[in-house]
């Protein structure tokens, strides 16, 4: 008999080799060799089922020899229970002696049974029945370089029908997955949820996935009687393991410097500080950022709590410039960075700080002070050269550390006025415009003029848009007068009046001796308004051939406005004496307006009175004798000589 002990369903157990001897004896060389082979399997009388297979045979075993290696028996359990069965061993005389045929052929020499004695305990039991309860394990998110997270693999030895083997298990992993731990003799129906563990590498950021292999062994040691064949290796099972490794946030400060300019009293201007969480992929922790203490003259605000990988925040962090005082305000603003650990439940980790250079300029605005609000040219004359009048503007701001300049221009002229000029690059605090701005007057046309020019100013500096200041109107006025122009006019009576420059000639022509000849003149201020008034007096000289009538010839006159006349200037010719006459009247005139006189601009004019008194001889008068003609001729020559002397004297005095 042979007891295979305890075996498991599906387990094959091979016995040790049978020991078979050729025990025949006789004369040397006359004992045949022995052959042996397995025969039929006996029916099992037990409750279990097993397959029994004989392995090997023996051929030509010499007399007195033993073979203990060629023949074995393998039993394979197929159903639980006891095994009581056996397998026959047939012995055959080989018909050979020492391997040489003796010609007698083979013949059976009996048999034996290699048996399995159920009473000794040959038993087939059920295998362990393992099941992995969590074949997929997610280890979650972890920070790069941290300790590997672990997860437990839960294994149950499902109970089948008794008897049943216990379960042994161990686990291993393939990078980046690791496995550790084992357990033994897990009883049927029991579960182990702690002995087997899986982990993963945290050396590299990114998604992690792989498998761990659970090695399983059905172990009959819990039943016993299995000797060295207690353990039956079962197919391994896999556990899928996944997770993610996150690198620290990577801060990039996009704003290296901030430059802000403002004017005193402005609302505090602000600028944003841009930050990026620079990362090659999404497996990066969120970035947190906060502002450190602001330098003097600045205010900082805002924070970032969770800036995703690859994201940029250009609005949350801000710096503002204080505009209370003028001056240059520079400094450094610290930005503190932290990898927040939210995505992987890690403790926030400082990433240090970076700095933004702050450059601030606060300007005192220019104060527009227009000192000249009216420009009055007064009374000037047509054609008069009149210089421009200056418009004075001052930047009335106080001088501070930084000041705007006052820029601007004078525009808006029309008619005879031309308002022009700019402040160029501008007036500093307390500076005046000098002659930069002016108003010119064109005196080409007489008239009374008024208009308004405009000064448009701005507060200017090199960094800010100009601050437009109030437009100030500047009144412009002028009166351009025509000069007074004295002129004679013949209102009625004899003679013809002509003019050449400032000389007038009243020519009476031929006048019959003894006839009554007279004329009525007027003196005009022959301009249109506005114009100067005319005043003056007549220098009558020694008038022997004419007499004047009317009171206006004597004394002086004034207030003769544009287009007005001084009438009633009568002239009567003395025609008693025959001959040519020539008398002169001179007007000493001047123009004036508003108390100012313009004597150089009114020429003295002369009025020459000229005519020829002729004798008229009636046709019925008898022709005189020779002596009478001689006497009459002498008298006429004397009269003519007298008139000539008077004319020469008159002309000499006028020259």
Rounded mean pLDDT, 221-245: 94
Q: What is the pLDDT at residue 601?
A: 60
State how far the Cα of 489 lies from the Cα of 565, in Å rounded to an integer. 9
Q: What is the pLDDT at residue 117?
A: 62
pLDDT bracket for residue 644 (50, 70, 90): very low
Say whether pLDDT at 118 is over 70.
no
Contact 572, 547 (CB under 8 A): yes
pLDDT bracket for residue 622 (50, 70, 90): very low
Residues in CB range of 40: below 8 A, 6 or more apart: 87, 88
Q: What is the pLDDT at residue 599?
A: 60
pLDDT tens, position by position, 569-595: 999 999 988 999 999 999 998 988 887
Say whether pLDDT at 640 is over 60.
no
Share the mean pLDDT of the chain: 91
Residue 398 CB-density burial (10 A; 0-12 exposed, 13-18 middle, 19+ buried): exposed
pLDDT bracket for residue 543 (50, 70, 90): confident
State how far the Cα of 251 lies from the Cα of 240, in Å rounded to an integer. 35
pLDDT bracket for residue 446 (50, 70, 90): very high
Return the minimum-mean-pLDDT range out of 287-296, 386-395, 643-652: 643-652
Rounded mean pLDDT, 477-495: 94
E strand segments, 201-311: 206-219, 231-246, 251-253, 257-263, 270-277, 287-291, 298-301, 303-307
Rounded mean pLDDT, 17-33: 91
Q: What is the pLDDT at residue 636?
A: 42
pLDDT tens, position by position, 235-278: 999 999 999 999 999 999 999 999 999 999 999 999 999 999 99
Q: What is the pLDDT at residue 337?
A: 98
Q: What is the pLDDT at residue 84?
A: 84
Enclosing H/E stretch for 500:
strand 496-500
Q: What is the pLDDT at residue 600?
A: 59
Contact 320, 331 (CB under 8 A): no
Say whether pLDDT at 631 is over 90.
no
Say whether pLDDT at 639 is over 90.
no
Say whether pLDDT at 430 is over 80.
yes
Q: What is the pLDDT at residue 597?
A: 73
Rounded mean pLDDT, 48-59: 91
């Amino acid at each position: 008999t042979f007891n295979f002990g305890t075996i498991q369903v599906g387990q094959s157990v091979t016995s040790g080799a049978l020991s078979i001897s050729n025990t025949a004896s006789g004369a040397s060389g006359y004992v045949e060799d022995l052959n042996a082979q397995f025969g039929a399997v006996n029916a099992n009388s037990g409750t279990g089922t097993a397959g029994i297979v004989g392995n090997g045979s023996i051929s030509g075993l010499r007399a007195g020899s033993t073979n203990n290696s060629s023949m074995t028996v393998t039993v394979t359990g197929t159903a639980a229970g006891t095994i009581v069965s056996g397998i026959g061993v047939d012995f055959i005389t080989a018909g050979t002696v020492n391997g040489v045929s003796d010609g007698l052929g083979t013949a059976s020499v009996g048999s034996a049974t290699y048996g399995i004695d159920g009473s000794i305990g040959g038993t087939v039991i059920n295998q362990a029945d393992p099941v992995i309860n969590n074949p997929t394990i997610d280890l979650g998110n972890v920070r790069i370089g941290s300790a590997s997270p672990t997860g437990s693999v839960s294994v149950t030895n499902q109970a089948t029908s008794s008897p049943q083997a216990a379960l042994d298990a161990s686990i291993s992993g393939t990078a980046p997955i690791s496995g550790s731990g084992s357990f033994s003799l897990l009883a049927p129906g029991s579960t182990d949820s702690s002995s087997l563990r899986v982990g993963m590498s945290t050396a590299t950021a990114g998604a992690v996935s792989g498998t761990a292999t659970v090695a399983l062994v059905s172990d009959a040691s819990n039943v016993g009687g299995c000797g060295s064949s207690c353990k039956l290796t079962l197919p391994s099972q896999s556990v899928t393991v996944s997770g993610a490794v996150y690198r620290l946030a990577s801060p990039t400060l996009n704003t290296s410097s901030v430059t802000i300019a403002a004017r005193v009293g402005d609302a505090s201007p602000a600028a944003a500080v841009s930050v990026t969480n620079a990362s090659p992929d999404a497996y990066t922790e969120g970035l947190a950022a906060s502002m450190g203490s602001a330098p003097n003259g600045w205010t900082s605000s805002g924070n970032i709590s969770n800036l995703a990988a690859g994201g940029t925040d250009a609005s949350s962090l801000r710096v503002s410039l204080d505009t209370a005082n003028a001056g240059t305000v520079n400094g450094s603003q610290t930005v503190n960075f932290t990898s927040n650990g939210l995505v992987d439940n890690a403790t926030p980790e400082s990433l240090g700080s970076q700095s933004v250079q702050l450059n601030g300029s606060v300007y005192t605005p220019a104060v527009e002070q227009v000192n000249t609000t009216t420009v009055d040219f007064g009374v000037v004359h047509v054609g008069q050269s009149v210089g421009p009048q200056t418009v004075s503007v001052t930047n009335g701001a106080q001088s501070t550390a930084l000041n705007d300049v006052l820029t601007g221009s004078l525009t808006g002229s029309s008619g005879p006025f031309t308002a022009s000029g700019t402040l160029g690059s501008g007036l500093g605090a307390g500076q005046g415009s000098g002659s930069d701005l002016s108003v010119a007057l064109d005196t080409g046309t007489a008239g009374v003029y008024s208009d308004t020019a405009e000064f448009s100013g701005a507060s200017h500096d090199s960094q800010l848009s100009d601050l437009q200041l109030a437009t100030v109107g500047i009144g412009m006025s002028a009166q351009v007068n025509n000069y007074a122009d004295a002129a004679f006019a013949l209102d009625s009576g004899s003679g013809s009046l002509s003019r050449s420059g400032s000389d007038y000639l009243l020519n009476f022509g031929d006048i019959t001796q003894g006839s009554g000849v007279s004329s009525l003149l007027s003196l005009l201020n022959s301009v249109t308004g506005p114009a100067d008034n005319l005043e003056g007096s007549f220098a009558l000289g020694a008038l022997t051939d004419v007499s004047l009538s009317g009171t206006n010839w004597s004394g002086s006159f004034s207030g003769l406005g544009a287009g007005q006349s001084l009438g009633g200037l009568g002239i009567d010719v003395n025609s008693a004496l025959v001959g040519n006459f020539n008398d002169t009247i001179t007007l000493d005139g001047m123009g004036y307006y508003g108390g100012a006189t313009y004597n150089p601009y009114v020429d003295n004019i002369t009025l020459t009175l000229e005519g020829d008194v002729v004798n008229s001889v009636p046709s019925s008068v008898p022709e005189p004798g020779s002596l009478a003609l001689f006497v009459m001729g002498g008298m006429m020559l004397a009269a003519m000589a007298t008139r000539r002397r008077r004319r020469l004297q008159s002309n000499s005095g006028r020259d």
